[in-house]
Amino acid sequence: MQSPTSTRPAPAPAARSDRDISKVVLGDLLFDTWYRSSYPKDLLAAVGSHHDDTGDGDGDNESRPTLDRLYVCRWCFRYSSELMPYLAHMASASRPTALDHTRLKIPSQHACPAREQPAPGRKLYAKGRLSVYAVDGEEQVLFCQNLSLFATLFLETKSVCFDPADFTYHLLLRADHPAASPQIVAFFSKEKRSWDHNNVACILVFPPWQRKGYGTLLMELSYTLSRREGIMGGPEKPLSGPGRRAYLSFWAGAVARFVLSRPAGRSTTTVRAISDHTFIQPEDVIAALKEMAVVQRKPAAAGKQRRAVRVDKSAVRDWARAHRVALTPVVDPAALVDGPAFIKAEDR
């Protein structure tokens, strides 16, 4: 059998000492986990042969990973601690992969049914080799549970909801060539009904595909959906440290595009005007402006309670250049697919 390909993803956080799984095999990719998972305890307890016994002799191995490798299906995210059941699940008579190159006979009746099927859910977006599908957690319970479990390996604050019926999962798929089966490389989940108008509950780009702009694409898409629904929202808070940094960068980029698109000589605006244009909540606009450090406050005009802000366009331009911010939106409106996944404001 050909070994899984070892990848070099984006720099990861320092490995936590309480991790219970050391590495994960996703399809034919092998990479490190970051955090302790929420996978069932019986999965870990049943793998004594995989237990890391490299302790210092005092018998206390609780701080070391229990499972060396977890095998996860790239299509349905079902998992196994054992190689042979995983190979059987990944097998295909019609379209072999690197993991199929083995002399062992693997029963095809155990192969993953999702391999030969279209991506689950409804298509929302399609451009080039990327597409986004919305999956109803009530219709695809097992898939969404398994995806959430996988996410706990890389999100410090992620807790698994074993009843995903109240969530919609938005999957980002990438097809490297027309004949290839698309790979899910990222996702975000969203509550169907959020009292706080949250447009994202959880967002993750899988480590091998980080630093390719996919997080920005999903964040912008979440705001695009909010605009189409006529509900101004934002991510569920509080944000983790990495999450806050990612969103501050995204919010600041959106604010920069708005400011630089204004006519020459227009250096004064309001937080509300920026919010209305970008559909970013006012408190998040303020956080972005502070992050950019490009604002001079201007006293409110007589009889007006709303305070204007003066933005230094040259400072914004310098900030955008220094942070390599694209001055055009990432989401292409022409690539959006109309359908039941979109609820326009006039239809609400």
Q: Which residues are catalytic?
A: 236
d(CA 8, CA 287): 33
Cα dihedral 294, 300, 306, 310, rounded to 10, equals: -20
Residue 102 near residue 87, CB atoms below 8 Å: yes
Q: At what angle do helices 241-261 and 282-292 cross, to 10 degrees?
A: 90
Q: At what angle do helices 241-261 and 271-278 cross, to 10 degrees?
A: 100
The beta-carbon contacts of 316-324 under 8 Å, at least 24 apart in sequence, are 316/256, 316/259, 316/260, 316/292, 317/260, 319/252, 319/256, 319/292, 319/294, 320/253, 320/256, 320/260, 323/249, 323/252, 323/253
Q: At what angle do helices 241-261 and 313-322 cross, to 10 degrees?
A: 130
d(CA 201, CA 342): 18
